Amino acid sequence: MSLKRDDLGIPVLDAQDIEQLSERFLGHAAPQVLSAPLFTPLAEIMDLLRREGHCSFQFDEDLGATPEGYKYLGYFDIRRRHISIDRSLSTEDVRFPFTVAHELGHFYLHQTVRPDALGSSGTDAIRDSTRDLVTHRVEGSRPRSLIEWQANRFAAGILMPRRTVRRAVENAQRARGITRGLGTIWLDRQPRSKRDYHLVMGDISATYRVSRAVTRYRLTELGIIEVDNKTMPTLVGDLMGTALNELFAGATPTA
């Protein structure tokens, strides 16, 4: 796919374009995850990118915080093609996979972004605080929101590939004895609906080794979770935003 870019160097992409790009990335870095519901081996992907000379990685830095107190969890240095993850995130931290995948999104999509698109002139790095990592809507007056939205969609695409997610849902539903509406998760206020929802969400999270928040975000954006708007008048965007806020501790300042 040849990428068209705007005047700020940001690729012009819709959600389907990002799905295709995430699949192309995985086709090179971890093709096995495109054929069956499996966890995405981020360590192996990073090792491959390092060995091929595409990108370097560091995990022992304290990246600090924004002036408002939002912790920086990752950054991508455009000029050096270098990703750093804050040392506070161990590999066991539920935020670690999404943060790494998000920075890989910047690496894959944003190597031509101009500094004035990042909100602070003179920098060659995209620094991601907890507030940036929860972006799920694009604000037309803020180019940075588009960059973060793209990285979040890419991250979800490589952690839970579109090609396998519905099959994973069907497998989980069958294993739980759920036979109606296979491949779709219906959510309303009925106790059985809520029970099935939580059971299947837990199974999917375990399959892909991601948090329930990431699972909810991904299944919502793919339209797999269907909400009864009569009894649960919640917008899809609210579900997605709530999931990311939950993952990153409400995106609240650290001080």
How far is the CA of 156 from the CAs of 62, 150, 178, 191, 240, in angstroms?
25, 10, 26, 29, 11
- Mean per-residue pLDDT for 49-76? 95
Please give the pLDDT value at position 239. 63
| 242: pLDDT strictly greater than 80 | no
| 254: pLDDT strictly greater than 50 | no
Predicted structure pTM score: 0.90
What is the rounded distance in angstroms from the CA atom of residue 20 to the CA atom of residue 1?
8
Please give the pLDDT value at position 255. 40
Asked if residue 251 lies in contact with residue 131, where contact means CB atoms within 8 angstroms, the answer is yes
Which region, left, alpha or beta, applies to residue 223 given φ > 0 means left and ψ of -120 to 50 means alpha?
Answer: left
Query: What's the whole-number average pLDDT of the chain?
Result: 89
Split at pLDDT 50, 70, 90, the class of 238 is low
Taking only the tens place, the pLDDT of each residue in 99-125 is 999 999 999 999 999 888 887 545 789
Please give the pLDDT value at position 188. 84
Split at pLDDT 50, 70, 90, the class of 1 is low
Split at pLDDT 50, 70, 90, the class of 241 is low
Buried b vs exposed e over 64-76: b needs ≥16 C-beta within 10 Å?
Answer: ebeeeebbbbbbb
The number of CA neighbours under 13 Å toward the Cβ of 137 is 11
Burial of residue 122, with CB atoms counted within 10 A of its CB: 0-12 exposed, 13-18 middle, 19 or more buried:
exposed
Considering the chain, what percentage of its residues have pLDDT values greater than 90? 67
What domains does the chain contain, in order, with CATH numbers? 15-161 (1.10.10.2910), 163-249 (no CATH)
